[in-house]
Amino acid sequence: MENGYPLKQIIDDQGNLLDAASKSLIDQELVQKAYYHMYRIRTFDKKAKSLQRQGRIGTYPPFQGQEASQVGSALALRENDWLFPTYRDHGAMLTFGADMTRTFLYWNGRLEGCIPPEGKNIFPAAVPIATQILHAVGASWAEKRKGTNNIAIAYFGDGATSEGDFHEGLNFASVFQTPTILFNQNNGYAISVPFERQMNSRTVAQKGVAYEIPSVRVDGNDFFAVYFEMRKAAERARNGGGPTLIESVTWRTGAHTTADDPTKYRPEDKGKDIVDPLIRLERFMKNEGFWEENFIQSTHEKIEHEIELAVKEMENYPKPNVEDLFNHVFAKLPDSLVRQKESYLQLLRGK
């Protein structure tokens, strides 16, 4: 079945252009935008891991190795589209316009980290597996009923395909032809379970067959392959063509989270032959004459300054409101929680 869904590529590991037809679509603006966002989220990811090791934020799920998948997909969205992330898609969220300080706040356990910028349709990261697929299908169905051409993208890993929500979401999207992009990042492992133990199917893409959903399998470490296939799917969805299932084959270089030890389940040499997506883009830029030293240097300086400022703002943020533990859950707080709240506030006043 893998032969029915060949891995679509535009550049190879050495940055060589494989698809001559795409050359006319690749210009300096697109290349620099890709580099800027991929370097930005890579630097964010490294900083977040460092902050967690220093005890300055909580448990954190790194995404290094998946930058091309997240940036390539998010850059193909329009301003009023919807983005439904998993807990590992803060790179896509940042690319789509999420605030960096609030993203750090999220991983510091703050309620404010779930609030998107005004006018941005970004849902809070879904920690339960596959629940965001149903939300994305519902939001895109609402857009269709309202007569807009806005779409929704749902990010999920290969492990999510074992959940009922995945199949329910695909079925609903297929029946009602919702403008939804079902974007799978197949990074080889669902926590500690390798892909071949997660399913007997050779690909995730083939799962769309049962639902009559167009499916495509792309090299998730090739920014251009992801970006152009995502644009095709988005355009089809906007024009009434319904949902698309995209399997972006990528690689998570690090642990599942900072609380995880991948040496317990992943062979040490596995993934060593996979070329880093940022290095791959850099090679392409040099091969095709897009590399500009001044742009690279200024980009690095700008991003490093932005990240340091966001960390400072996160750590200087006003202390959390204790009442947030009790608010925003029930329309009317049950008596038992009212007593808990009063008792806890009295305790704080006594300190």
**Catalytic residue numbers, as ranges:** 252, 256, 265
Q: Beta strands 189-190 and 193-194: pairing type?
A: antiparallel
What residue type is assigned to position 2 of the chain?
A: E
Nearest 5°: the CA angle 2, 281, 62 is 75
Q: Which residue has the tokens 């969805």?
A: 237
3-state secondary structure 28-83: HHHHHHHHHHHHHHHHHHHHHHHHHHCCCCCCCCCCCCCHHHHHHHHCCCCCCCEE
Residues 23 and 286 sit within 8 Å (Cβ to Cβ): no
Tell me the CA distances in angstroms from 247 to 170, 182, 186, 342, one per residue in order: 14, 8, 7, 50
Residues 260 and 228 sit within 8 Å (Cβ to Cβ): no
Nearest 5°: the CA angle 111, 122, 113 is 20
Distance, CA of 48 to CA of 57 (rounded, Å): 8
